[in-house]
Structure 1
């Protein structure tokens, strides 16, 4: 009996060893491609392999078409390919993948396609109310939401895998909905690339509220501030990308914004702005006193652009660098209608406006981090729609703005070159507001 048991154990051990040897000699495989929302380049892609890879070998053997400047990061797996920040993408990228693992076994050569360019989404007036729609590459519009009486707020998730929306009914009450999406920005054949598709569309919580404010970060987390019908019913709900929910014990004096990289939130209080961690920490909140509002985050650098309101009704634009006092870039009597910045906080765009002869006169200005005006352009006959954002996208180096004209109720989506400030295209379709949805 003992001999038979010993024989069985020896055979099992031999089988395990044989299996290990077989696996060790097996060629490495690409497990999956994962687009990443990094802030240090035009676009980034993580490549997960079945075994640790030789980064230098993969870098030398892999080819891109078009031949774009890029770099490889990581030690084993995943490896990250980052397209340089000064590259402007105008078409999908063909990725001819090859290379060896750390045992010098070769990866089977294979072809993939990747399109890091963002998607244009817009709230559009339709029969019966409004609807959130996405424009595909051919210019056709695809419905994302149902038709609702009004949609006062839309926030794309930072990872590109969903869109949060606020639905308002005829009585003025609101409800928060989330459309979860599957992205199609990587594929083995070019025809498989396409816009994201809606998996589900449902309310985030039961019941209606008096108001709701939304914010998302690059991880895909969503912050929902809402207020109910009873005193003290205000709440701040953090819905993480994995679906977990957390009630935040915060009492802001206005809308909060999640930090792009996650982990924190910028919260307005009555005497300024505070930066707080989302998890309990012994570290005291950082506070920036004064009548300021957050204009835009500049992701990779940790910088941000603020708009400051002065008692004499002037407005200033400030660049906040971690560990330093705010740097004033602009001060004047013009209204600061919107701001945006690049990843490093080296280019800051602002729309300045004043009323002249009963109509708005809006000017788009490009500032350097030293406050020097690099370029300016009058938007006439267009104006930036009040309350709409200015959004810059690194993949295409374009600004997206919601533009209106005098005596017109409907707006248009305007694409503007971020360097020379020339209008590339005004899409001739009626919208209420336009935004970018990242390619996830």
Structure 2
């Protein structure tokens, strides 16, 4: 249980654990019916090395904390772990610190700050690995802990054992566990592919914008050398609106979106904006209820974040590729850079301003202590090399094709994660 007014940690959905009716073919147990408490005290030898492990929060698994000689371990009451044990941190379980012990940590030791359990034959290990992610079980952990502050709560195993729970037959547990493992494997595979593409894109941008790699004309001939220019020569700086996110309305009929500097920091994609559905990455911003005298974004505009607490984010930019008339504006802590002439091809500017040579210059001119900023005057002076328009098109096409593949993988990952989350909650509520 928890004290009155206790704040729930971020890893736990607030609420009292509630168990519905028993699904057909499933059986109702007490949690204590599923486990045996095990204790394997070990005598520490001064000259022998031991692996001490800990359990990460948010059901993040087990990791080695340290490897020490017996004489250097201050707490002498240590207990041996075996593969297949279920390990619970008594002080961190309110944050989801529990895990099944994998083979690589068999033989490690923990102090009596942990509860070590052994699942009985009615409970599949694979099923248990996913069961701990259910909202119900997370809430039972929290409500089986006592303390005046969330960081000082102590788990009471005897209380946790009293909670009821539903379990399917072992065969069904195995099937469900394998299905969730397959989903995890797909998510991992998709994530690895996405990471590899992102790394390839970063490398390609580095080579392109340093002129190490050049495109050629369709007939095989070389493009002209790149021209040295300043940002102030090719962009005009347009006024952004003065409304902060706190002053935005919530009327969806207004059709106006305010692009906040945080949206620019968080994305590395051209902006295609015809409606809220067309631009899901700014769906968190609110339409402006009353909008007068502001500068709407146009196709080809580049929105630049002018402030950040992190050097790696300062001056990040995103290009507007499509936008419905009078539908989008850039808000506080952003600049709008509008191309002056046809020397800049649509789709190229955003990549230019995100390229390593430009990012290095922007970070050098950033000023500030707690919050960093860049001025328009300093941005205008930055030097870059501008390729022929036809070579710009080839660069933009190559990079946008990679972005499309990365976006497709991101979408698949989101869909698989949503599927897994929905399945978990249906299975274990």
Using the size of structure 2 for normalisation, the TM-score is 0.23
Greater C-alpha Rg: 2
More helix by share: 2
